[in-house]
Amino acid sequence: MDVREAVATRYSCRAFLPTPVPLATVREILEGAARAPSGGNLQPWLVHALAGERLKALKATVRARPELLPRGEGAEYDIYPRELKEPYRTRRFQVGELLYRAIGVPREDRPGRIRQYARNFEFFGAPVGLFFSIDRTMGPPQWSDLGGYIQSVMVLARAHGLHTCGQEAWTHWHRTLGEVLALPPDYMLFCGMALGYADEDAPINRWRAPREPLDAFASFQGFPG
C-alpha cells in the first residue's frame, strides 16, 4: 500500500472483527515503527502488546468494576487542558457529536454514552491491545517523539490491512495496568491502542472526523509564484 493511501485510510476504528493478528505481524509493525525519528535518537518508547488470554484477563479485570466508570482509577495526566479553549473545545464537542450520532446515542443519554465509552476497555473487540509508556523524566519533546512512533505504528498497520484506535482512556486504569504490565515505576503509561481488522459495516466505523482546511493551519511564504 502506498504511504499516501495508508495515511488517508487510517481512522480511529471502534469496532473490530475477532480475526487474530499473527505475532509476526505485530512484531514487524512495532519494529518498523521504531524507524520513527526522535530527538538525539533517544527512542523514548516502551511498548507492551497483549493478545489471547492475557488480553482477556485484563478486560475481565476492568469489566468487573463497572461502578468506577467513567473515571476508573483516575487519570495519571490531564488528557486535555482543564480549561479547553476555543477552537479546540468546539472541535472536541463536534467529534463527540458525530461519534454518538453514528450509533444513535443522543447527547442526553448519559448511560448510553458511558456504555460506548466502556467499549474502550474491551479494545472495541480488537484481538490485540498495545500500550505505550514513557520514562517519567522525559519532557514534551520526547512525548512528541513517542507520538511519532505511535503514528508510525498506525500507518504501518494499514500496510497489513489492519486498523487501529489510539486510546488515552486507558490512563484511567493506570494502576491496574502498572501491575498487569509489570511497568517499572519510573515509566508512565501514555495510551493504549486497539489493533486488528475493522468491522467495516459497523455504524461506528462509517463516519470520518473532519479536519480544518489546510490554509487554516499552514502558511506558505517565499515560494515562487
Instruction: Write out the residues near ligand FMN by the rule CB under 6 A.
Output: 11-12, 14, 95, 120, 165-169, 191, 209
Give whichever of 23 and 94 is closer to ligand FMN, judged by the CB atom: 94
Give whichever of 118 and 159 is closer to ligand FMN, judged by the CB atom: 118
CA distance readout (Å), 126 to 35, 86, 153, 173, 184: 25, 34, 15, 18, 26
83-92 burial, b if ≥16 CB within 10 A, otherwise e? eeeeeeeeee
CA distance 61 to 129: 15
**Are the CB atoms for 167 and 196 separated by under 8 Å?**
no
We find the least distance from the C-beta atom of residue 222 to ligand FMN, in angstroms, to be 31
We find the least distance from the C-beta atom of residue 220 to ligand FMN, in angstroms, to be 24
We find the least distance from the C-beta atom of residue 24 to ligand FMN, in angstroms, to be 26
CA distance 78 to 82: 7
Give whichever of 139 and 225 is closer to ligand FMN, judged by the CB atom: 139
CA distance 27 to 183: 20
We find the least distance from the C-beta atom of residue 2 to ligand FMN, in angstroms, to be 19
- Long-range CB contacts (< 8 A, 24+ apart) of 63-67? 63/121, 63/122, 66/118
Give whichever of 42 and 79 is closer to ligand FMN, judged by the CB atom: 79
Give whichever of 140 and 224 is closer to ligand FMN, judged by the CB atom: 140
- Determine the residue with CB nearest ligand FMN: 166
Residue in the structure block whose three cell numbers are 454518538: 100
We find the least distance from the C-beta atom of residue 26 to ligand FMN, in angstroms, to be 19
